[in-house]
Structure 1
Amino acid sequence: MKTMMMMLQPRDPNTLFSGGGISFLSGNKNGRFSYGYSSFKGKRSSMEDFYETRISEVDGQMVAFFGVFDGHGGSRTAEYLKNHLFRNLSSHPEFFNNTKSAIVESFKQTDADYLKEASGQKDSGSTASTAVLLGNRLLVANVGDSRVVACISGSAVPLSIDHKPDRTDERERIEQAGGFVIWAGTWRVGGVLAVSRAFGNKVLKAYVVADPEIQEEEIDGVEFLIIASDGLWNVVSNEDAVALVQGITDAEAASRKLVQEAYSRGSSDNITCVIVRFDHSFASL
């Protein structure tokens, strides 16, 4: 039987909403971890960020899924990802045997399912920055410009690379598909979209794909993770983010600290942050 814990999205987006928990992973002697999340509408008129923190039993193993989904053109795509992406991934037949392939296929299938269901939503889209904890494996998958940064040996290590239209490889991919990238206040696909990969965005789908880039690390080498929307990263560097919360052992308090710091530095976007902190001392107890 599968069991899962789901966190509710804030009902009042004008309020900074936060929470967290503690859990364990199967098959990892250092599998105790804590997590915290904070989300704030900030200076935007509407809230388009969503997040997910899900601890599930999958085929008898405890697995953790964390994600931040930054919507654009409305919140519908981001909300859809919150409700469907990890469910699709955990039910993929190759989830344990070929996890990376399962992630890629689940991302693509979720995007296709959304486009069919939301046929009238031509401009709505979303990023997805996710982390899957499986045994001693940490698998980070990213689409768009939300970002995952790890603290490893005291240093900030990016585990994802933003999908921006001015990335040389991304621009070449878009142009080879028949699209174009131009400057319109910032570099944009088709003069419209400031990210080069996303879920949704039906009109630009031939160029703006939902294919994730994946990076894997061993959990034993990671002190903590920061998963956040660009409302944080636009004003706080990777190094600053890690330094600001390195001494805060409460993951929820750390996530609140980063959201509040981004707002105080003038972030003009929605701000959402998830922090996962690993307790490597637990194995020696």
Structure 2
Amino acid sequence: MAAGTEFSPAFAMLEGGFNVSVGEDEISQNSDHLKQMAIRKPPRHLSVVRQSMSTATLLQPMNTEFGVGIVAAKSGSDGKSEFLPIIRSGSCAEKGPKQYMEDEHICIDNLLEYLDGTEGFPPPGAFYGVFDGHGGTDAASYVRKNILKFIVEDSQFPVCLEKAIHNAFVKADHAFAENSSLDISSGTTALTALIFGRTMVVANAGDCRAVLGKRGRAIELSKDHKPNCASERLRIEQLGGAIYDGYLNGQLSVARALGDWHMKGPKGSACPLSAEPELQEVVLTEDDEFVIIGCDGLWDVMSSQCAVTITRKELMIHNDPERCSRELVREALKRNTCDNLTVIVICFSPDPPPRIEIPQTRVRRSISAEGLNFLKGVLDSNS
């Protein structure tokens, strides 16, 4: 090949179907590296061309129907945005491979209408919750029916949503213990999402999870409260509890739950099994497309990013959050989940997510015949 012949740079394939072109600095560095290798035979299987993600150029995805995972999406809106979400949702719940269905959930797309025009907070308003029961259905059913009432009746509502929600979790736990008609040894994890205007407050006690889809990126809005989690283990051990084979006191696979009063001390006392939620507040922007709320039957077999990728792809096809939730449940069953499945998909726009376009570029570099012959020699020595 004659000197000065144009030669396209090497490409690396990343997970998700992205091509990475090697930048000019890498080509220069590799040329120097190859010249050094000419002095001695390089070791076998040595990578001749090294890719550096710090200077790599992300090109258009090979499978553009997903339209996700691109780091170069436009930045989020600032606090001066006039964006207001238009909320719609869909849900799906399946017993799965278990003998009984112990999950409960709640979906309220128009909370202001549901509360009959309660004053003091801006529209739109919505409320969602997933409650993963264990040891029976009493705890999950009771919390689903009463948690919103405890929130709106709290003295902090709606001035301080986080305090009102925190108090409601604890009050619901105590009220459940006082109900003599229920099996107070049953328990439930609980995750709720309360939306007022642009503000969304996620509260979680247990191992359900809320994941925000932000222009194709998955952002976790809750933490799984497993006993082996470092912060939960520390809290448990400081309160006299122990963890055996990943189970709290050898009995429970979560570190926080409502109910389970056979494992708790007197009401109001600190104990290793806590009903107090962790809270996350989010101010929604145009980049926030949807939220997925699911019990651990989903997350045991699927990563947060995978769930966001599937949901975004489905919304781009049919724009139906209920069909998205069914698809996530179907995919979890295909992956052999061992638990009940409950999934809620909440969208913040009436339109499907837009395709994320990044201009495709072609980077071409010239390489001399000497360089090509040198590279051929190195490759031959590794064969």
TM-score, normalising length: structure 1: 0.84
The residue number in structure 2 matching 1:217 is 282
The residue number in structure 1 matching 2:311 is 245
Alignment of 1:31-110 (within 5 A): 31-54=85-108, 55-57=110-112, 58=115, 59-60=118-119, 62=123, 63-110=125-172
How far does residue 152 in structure 1 lie from its aligned partner after superposition? Answer: 1.3
Among 177, 180, 188, the residue aligned to 2:242: 180
Q: Which amino acid aligns with 1:107?
A: F
Is residue 190 from structure 1 mapped to residue 249 from structure 2 by the alignment?
yes
Alignment of 1:141-152 (within 5 A): 141-152=203-214
How far does residue 281 in structure 1 lie from its aligned partner after superposition? Answer: 6.5
Partners of 1:175 and 1:122 in 2: CA distance: 24
Tell me the matched-pair count: 252
Among 199, 211, 226, the residue aligned to 2:258: 199
Moved more, 67-76 or 113-122: 113-122
User: Which structure has more strand as a fraction of its residues?
Assistant: 1
The residue number in structure 1 matching 2:335 is 265
Q: What secondary structure sits across from 1:246 in the alignment?
A: helix
The residue number in structure 1 matching 2:78 is none
In structure 2, relative to structure 1, the CA distance for the partners of 1:203 and 1:119 (3 Å cut) is farther
- After TM superposition, what 4+ stretches of structure 1 lie above 6 angstroms from structure 2? none
Q: CA RMSD in A?
A: 1.7
Q: What secondary structure sits across from 1:236 in the alignment?
A: coil
In structure 2, relative to structure 1, the CA distance for the partners of 1:200 and 1:190 (3 Å cut) is same
Q: What secondary structure sits across from 1:85 in the alignment?
A: helix
Q: Percent identity?
A: 36
How far does residue 171 in structure 1 lie from its aligned partner after superposition? Answer: 1.0
In structure 2, relative to structure 1, the CA distance for the partners of 1:218 and 1:120 (3 Å cut) is closer
Is residue 226 from structure 1 mapped to residue 292 from structure 2 by the alignment?
yes
Partners of 2:279 and 2:180 in 1: CA distance: 27
Partners of 1:32 and 1:255 in 2: CA distance: 18
CA contact (8 A) 1:51 1:272 kept: yes
TM-score, normalising length: structure 2: 0.63
In structure 2, relative to structure 1, the CA distance for the partners of 1:281 and 1:274 (3 Å cut) is closer
Q: What secondary structure sits across from 1:223 in the alignment?
A: strand
Kindly provide the CA deviation profile for residues 217-238 of structure 1, in whole angstroms up to 9, marking residues without a partner as x.
Answer: 1122421000001111111110
CA contact (8 A) 1:30 1:281 kept: no
CA contact (8 A) 2:139 2:184 kept: no
Q: What secondary structure sits across from 1:216 in the alignment?
A: strand
